[in-house]
Amino acid sequence: MSGRVLVGVKRVIDYAVKIRVKPDNSGVVTDGVKHSMNPFCEIAVEEAVKLKEKKLIKEVVAVSCGPQQSQETIRTALAMGADRGIHVEVAGKDYETLGPLQVSKIMAALAKKEDAQLLILGKQAIDDDCNQTGQMTAALLDWPQGTFASEVSLDGDKVKVVREIDGGLETIKISTPAVLTADLRLNTPRYATLPNIMKAKKKKIANVKPADLGVDLTSRLEVLKVEEPPQREAGVKVETVEDLVGKLKETGRI
Question: Which stretches of the chain bind another protein, using CB under 8 A?
Answer: 14-17, 32, 34-37, 39, 188, 191-195, 197-198, 201
Residue closer to another protein by CB (options 76, 117) is 76
- Minimum Å gap between C-beta 39 and another protein is 8
**Of 32 and 92, CB closest to another protein:** 32
Q: How far apart are the first and last CA of the chain?
A: 64
In which region does residue 213 sit, left (phi positive, over 0), alpha (psi from -120 to 50) or beta (all else)?
alpha
Cβ 224 to another protein, closest distance in Å?
Answer: 28
Q: Angle at which helices 39-53 and 70-80 pack, to 10 degrees?
A: 40
Is the CB of 32 or the CB of 168 nearer to another protein? 32
Q: How far is the CB of 71 from another protein (least distance, A)?
A: 13
Determine if residue 56 is left, alpha or beta; phi over 0 gives left, psi from -120 to 50 gives alpha, anything else beta: alpha
CB of 60 to another protein, least distance (A): 19
Please, which residue, 18 or 55, has the CB nearer to another protein?
Answer: 18
Give start and end residues of each alpha helix (H) in 18-172: 39-53, 70-80, 92-96, 100-113, 133-141
CA separation (Å) from 161 to 133, 214, 216? 18, 32, 32
